[in-house]
Structures are given as structure tokens and as C-alpha cells.
Amino acid sequence: MNIRKKVIFSFVILILFIISISSLSLITTYHMKENASFAKEVSKLINIQEDMNELINLATLESSLKNLDKIKENFNSFEKKFELLKHEILKKNKKDFIDNIIHNIRQNDEVKSHLDKLFENEHTIELIFDEVYNFQKKHVFHQNMFKKVYPKEDEARNKLQKLIKETKSLTLVQEFGDLKYYSKETLYQHKDKERYEKWISSIDKIILELLKKDEKELFDLFTNYKKTVQKVGKIVLDINNIEKQEKVLVNVLISILKENKQVSVSIERKIEEITDQFLSNLSTLEFTLVASIVFITFVLTLYITSRLTIILKKLKNGVQKLKNGDYDANISIQEDKEFNEIAKTFNNMSQNIKENQNTLEQRIKSRTNELQTALINIQEQKDTLENLSNKLSKYLSPQIFESIFSGKQDVQLESKRKYLTVFFSDIQGFTDLTDSVETETLTQLLNEYLDIMSSIVIKHGGTIDKYIGDSIMVFFGDPLSNGKTKDAISCINMAIEMREAMGELRIKWQKDGISKPVHIRMGINSGYCTVGNFGSKNRLDYTIIGGVVNLASRLESNANPDEILISSETYMFIKDSIKCTKREELNVKGISHPIQTYEVLSSSSNSTIIEEQNGFNLILDLNEINKSSVISTLKNTILSIEKNS
């Protein structure tokens, strides 16, 4: 038998083992399921009997015939449920084929005896209910009679009490007190014959006394009252008798329920006992089966492993020789036919490798040279493209550059409508400055100004549209937008920071010899614009157009030095975050109605103070300075100025 057949044999044994374990699991599941089902059925029987007992208790307390009949109807419903469940249990208790293989809890004699007891108790409960039902009907009838007769007795007793008091006879008053006492004892407390007879006796004593006193009218009234009391007393005694009989039946019910609980506990214990025994036997069988399979598998594995070790060692030696360049290595495996075929294939492969080695080495060398040349060319092209990309980025806004080179935006003639906040600024007096300074200095100043302002634009997320001499055009909301309000607030904060930066530049340039001060003017507007690529197929410009853009430019040209002038559209977005003051309306060319404008004062987060006068410049950053030190310096400076004045 070769190794393959031995492996197949081991596999068959493993399959048989799995089938055996699965069968045992199915048997266990079936047994546990049957036991659980039987326990559940017994529990239902007990619950139904408890519900029937509850209805009996309700019946003993019911004072309405209609409700009593409804209780009987519900009791009959539970009785039917009990009978159906009983029939189902008895049907399942019949012995079948599986019961000959597995011991069924239903076939246990002790369990059957307990079940018979439950069925017997159920029959007793039915009989008790019928008796309770009949007693309670009588009870309700007598209660209704009592309700009719008692008011007459009560009325007559109260009337007689007044008449007895009017006689002013101490004997009659005392006797009537005894009458009243025994009436309460009979009607409300003991309700027995002894108190009833004492009640009648007290009436007879009063009647006899009235006869002696010749009180004819009272004599007749007490005689009639005695008849009423006899009716009431008989009803009360009948009710008391019925209640006693019902109490006896209820006590019988309580004993039945206790017995049922004991039966239920006994059945549960028996189920646990049989289940434990079954699981113990099953565990022994499983252990024996597993031990046998493990032993057989161990022997087969040991045998197959030893044979495979020899074969693999031969294959390893052959492969090692081939790895070391010995292409004449030859492997022979006599232990297994299939592995011997593999050995022959290996020997043929060794010869083929030997024959093709030289050709393969030449091809590898040639391909390696080609790959190295290609990699050098690719790296050169990559460096060229990166250099070109860095150069092009200087001519585009960072946002536009990123969207084009990331593939988010195509370079083609197209446009779209978007809600933008547009910004224009220029330097007042810059034209005059060009006539008074050298070209190199002017270029240096302009580049320094544009570099600082561009950094501020990028910091706040704006898109630089273009530079026009000393003018800057910026918009917010494309290609990325944070929402109309946030875009407008970012634009205003940018303008405020530009104004502060211009103040610092102005002081610096004055120190550098630029005597004429320069100031910045800014205009801002918000609205829908057309944004996209405009131009020709050979030359494009990503920009915005529209009336909103024109109005922003007009606001900038109408702004005073270092002033930020905004439209009412922009003001609506920033009024809760930025301090502004209302300015006069402007009449702008191309717009038929006046334009309401607002001047931006400062933002809530502004912490820089800039003050300029002839011969005096002050810049304070409240977030950076040591306030106590600055205050001390300012005080000393003021004292020095006052001394010199």
C-alpha cells in the first residue's frame, strides 16, 4: 500500500469518527429536547391548574351573577386547554421506535404515576369548582335578599330606639341596648346561631315587658320587628353556612396545589436524574471512541511521517545539489510510486536547466541593461516635470494649481455660476511713488508688498485671481468653499490683517527712506459670479466675471485711505462677527439704484493697535507684548515729552 492509499484510509477513518460524533450529538440533542419539552408540558399543566384555582378564589368573592357566569366560562376554557394538553402528553407517551434505542423520560413508571396524580387532581378541581359555583350562586342570592331586608330592619330598629327612649323606662332602655348589641354581633361579626338566638331573646324580653306595661302600640311594633329580624337572621345564617362550606373547599384546593408542586418537583428531579445518567453513559462512549480514533490516527501518522521524511530528505538533497550548481544531480525514490515520478521530472528539469543556463544568463544581462537605461530616462523626465511644475505654480493661485494637478479640474473652456465674496485692493499714492524712486527700488517695494499680501490671502484661504500693478484681485468660495458666511468672514479678516500689515510696511519704508506715506484701499462685495476658464484654446485664464466683480472694484475706488468698504450683501454675513459702521449710499455706474455701503472697523479677535502721526508711529500686538512693561515705557515716554515741551 503506497502513501496515497494510506492517507485515503486515514481520511475514511476520520470521516467515520466525525459521523459517530455527529450521531452522538444528534442523539444528545434529541434526548435533551424531549426532556425539555416534557418538563415544559408539565409546567403548563401546573400553570393551568393554578389559573383554575385563581378563578375558584375569584368565584368565592364575586357578588354578581353575570360575572360569576363569566368566571365559569373562563374556567371551562382552561379545562379544555388542560384536556387538550393531557391528550397530547398521553399521545407522546406511547412507546415508538426511538424509545427502544434511547430511554425516554415519558416511559418512566414513577413519572407516569406523578402524571396520573396531576390528572386526578385536575378532576377534583373541576368538581370543587362546580360546588363553589353553586354555593356562590346561593351566596349571591342571599346577599341580594339581605340587601333588601336589612334596610327595613335597620329603619325599624332606629324608630323603635326613639320610642323606647320616650317611655323613659330604664328596664326597656337596657333591654334595647342588649338588642342593639346582639344585632351587630349577628349581622356583622360572628353571624352564628348563638348570637341570633340571643338577639331574638332580647326582643322577646322587651315584648313581655311591654305587655306588662300595657303598651299596645309598641307591643305591635316589636312583634312586627321580630318577624323582620327572623327573616334577616335566617339569611345571615345561610350566608355564614355557605361561606364555611366554601372555605372547606378552598382549603382542599390549597392542599391539591401543594401536592401539585411536590409532583412537579419530583418530575423535575427525575428528569435531571435520567439526564445525568444518560450524559454519563454518553461521555464514556465518546471517550472510548475518541481514544480509539486517536490511537489509530497516531499509528498511521507515525508510519506515514517516517516514510515522508525519507522521501523529503532525498528531494532536499537533490534540490540542494541543484542550488549549488550541480545540474547532474539524480534522485531515485523507491518508497512510493508517485514520488518516484516526481523525482524523474526533477531529473529532467535539471538537465533542461543545465542546457538553458547560458542562454538565460545572456538574456537577463541584456534585459537588465535595458531596464537601467529606461529608469534613467524616466528619472530625467520626472525631474524635468517637477521643475516645470514648480515654475508653473508661481503663475497660478495655489488652489487652482492644486485642483488642476490633482485632476479635480480639467483645463478646458468652461464656466459655472457660484456664490463668491470678491476683494479688490490697491495702494493709494503708488503712481506718484513711481516718479520719485528708482526702478530697482520700486520693483523691490512692490514685490515685498505683494509677497506679504499674498501670504495673508493664502493664510485665510482666498484665491488670487490676478495682480494688476499694485492692485490685487481675490475671491473666496472657489474652488473650495466653507459656506457663504464663513467665506465672507474669512475675506474680511484677511482685509483687516492686510491693513495692519500695510501699517507695518509703511513704517518700515519710511525708515528705508520712502518719505511719502502710502496707504491701502479695499473694497469687498458678495454675490453670484461666473467663474471658470476664459480665453482661447491656446491660452486660458481662470478668473471671474459679472456685476458683483464690477461693484467690488467700484467700492475699492471709492474707499478712503486704509479703509475697507463693503456692500450690504457682504455686511449681512459678517455683521454678528465684525464691527462695522454704516456709510453713505453710492451711485455706481451701471447700477440703477444707490448702493448702501459699510466701513469695517475691526474684528472681535483683532489684537493689534496701530497709530501714526507726523514723527510718531506706534504698533502694539496685545497678544505678544508684556503689558506692564509697555505701560511703564509709555508713561516714561510721556513724561519725557512733557519735559521737552
| Same domain assignment for residues 288 and 178 | yes
Residues 126 and 264 in one domain: yes
Q: Is the pLDDT of residue 503 over 80?
A: yes
- The span from the CA of 569 to the CA of 572, in Å, is 6
What is the spatial distance between Cα 573 and Cα 487, in angstroms, rounded to a whole number? 9
Residues above pLDDT 90, as percent of the chain = 19
pLDDT at residue 441 greater than cutoff 80: yes
In a domain, 49, yes or no: yes
pLDDT band at 238 (very low <50, low <70, confident <90, very high): confident
pLDDT for the residue 217? 87
What digits encode the pLDDT tens for the residues 280-295? 776 787 778 778 777 7
Distances (CA, A) of 595 to 151, 569, 587: 97, 10, 6
| 38 and 184 belong to one structural domain | yes
pLDDT band at 337 (very low <50, low <70, confident <90, very high): low
Cα–Cα distance, 563 to 519 (Å, whole number) = 9
The amino acid occupying position 340 is N
Higher-scoring residue by pLDDT: 614, 247: 247
pLDDT at residue 474 greater than cutoff 70: yes
Which CATH number goes with the domain that contains 279?
A: 1.20.58.920
- pLDDT of 537 higher than 80: no
587 Cβ contact partners less than 8 Å away, ≥ 6 residues apart? 594, 595
Domain extent at residue 630? 609-644
Q: Which residue has the higher pLDDT, 58 or 446?
A: 446
| pLDDT at residue 558, rounded to an integer | 93
* Matching residue, cell 508510519: 303
457 or 262: which carries more pLDDT confidence?
Answer: 457
Residue 106 is given by DSSP the state G
Q: Is residue 316 part of a domain?
A: no
| Greater model confidence, 329 or 506 | 506
Between strands 415-428 and 471-476, the pairing is antiparallel
Do the domain assignments include residue 524? yes
Contact assessment for residue 548 and residue 420, using Cβ atoms and an 8 Å cutoff: yes
C-alpha separations of 204 from 43, 197, 243 in Å: 61, 10, 29
Which residue type occupies 137? Answer: K
> Which of 87-101, 472-486, 517-531 is predicted least confidently?
87-101
Do the Cβ atoms of 7 and 304 come closer than 8 Å?
Answer: yes
Question: 530 falls in which pLDDT band (50, 70, 90)?
Answer: very high
- Looking at the fold, whether 97 and 204 belong to one and the same domain comes out as yes
DSSP state of 396: S
The confidence score (pLDDT) of residue 529 equals 95
448: Cα separation from own chain's centroid? 57
The most distant pair of C-alpha atoms in the chain lies apart, rounded to whole Å, by 160
Are residues 551 and 618 part of one domain? no
Q: Are residues 493 and 622 in the same domain?
A: no
Mean pLDDT score across all residues of the chain: 80
Same-domain check for residues 624 and 528: no
Phi, psi (5° rounding) for residue 207? -60, -45
541 falls within a domain: yes
How many domains is the chain built from?
3
pLDDT tops 90 at residue 265: no
Instruction: Say what the alpha-carbon torsion angle 519, 525, 526, 529 is, to the nearest 10 degrees.
Output: -100
**How confident is the model at residue 361, as a pLDDT?**
66
- When mean pLDDT is compared across 98-107, 188-197, 562-571, the lowest value belongs to 98-107
pLDDT-based confidence at 621, cuts 50/70/90? low
Per the model's pLDDT, the better-predicted residue between 395 and 165 turns out to be 165
The pLDDT of residue 24: 66
**626 and 513 fall within a common domain:** no
Query: What SS3 state is found at 295?
Result: helix
Percent of the chain surpassing pLDDT 70:
79
Of the three residues 268, 293, 318, the one that is the final residue of a domain is 293
Q: How confident is the model at residue 383 (pLDDT cuts 50, 70, 90)?
A: low
- Taken in order 224, 225, 229, 232, the sign of the CA dihedral is positive
pLDDT band for 459, please (50, 70, 90 cuts): very high
Q: What is the pLDDT of residue 381?
A: 73
Last residue of a domain, one of 293, 326, 344: 293
Residue 76, pLDDT > 70, answer: yes
Residue 593 above 80 pLDDT? yes
Residue 323 within any structural domain of the chain: no
Q: What pLDDT does 375 receive?
A: 76
Q: Specify the pLDDT at position 580.
A: 94
CATH of residue 418's domain is 3.30.70.1230
- Domain membership of residue 27 (yes or no) is yes
pLDDT exceeds cutoff 70 at 611: no
Helix, strand or coil for residue 581? strand
Q: What is the mean pLDDT of residues 437-448?
A: 88
- Rounded to whole angstroms, how far apart are CA atoms 147 and 149? 6
| Cβ atoms of residues 606 and 517 within 8 Å | no
Same domain, 621 and 541: no
| DSSP structure class, residue 516 | S
Nearest to 483 by CA among 408, 551, 552, 420: 420
What pLDDT band is residue 548 in, cutting at 50, 70 and 90? very high
H or E element at residue 532: strand 519-535
pLDDT at 396 over 60: no
Q: What is the pLDDT of residue 406?
A: 58
496 shares a domain with 616: no
Q: Which three cell numbers stand for residue 327?
A: 545540474
In a domain, 165, yes or no: yes
Is pLDDT at 325 greater than 70 in this prediction? Answer: no
Distance CA 412, CA 355 (A): 59
Q: Residue 142 CA to chain centroid, in angstroms?
A: 63
Given a cut of 60, whether residue 436 has pLDDT beyond it is yes
Query: Residues 343, 333: contact at Cβ < 8 Å?
Result: yes
Judge if 521 and 631 occupy the same domain: no
- Is the pLDDT at 521 greater than 90, yes or no? yes
Whether residue 321 lies inside any domain: the answer is no
For residue 622, the one-letter residue type is L
Which pLDDT belongs to residue 565?
A: 97
Above 60 in pLDDT, residue 410?
no
How confident is the model at residue 432, as a pLDDT?
79
Of residues 458, 474, 456, the one with CA closest to residue 549: 474
Contact 149, 231 (CB under 8 A): yes
Residues 417 and 270 in one domain: no
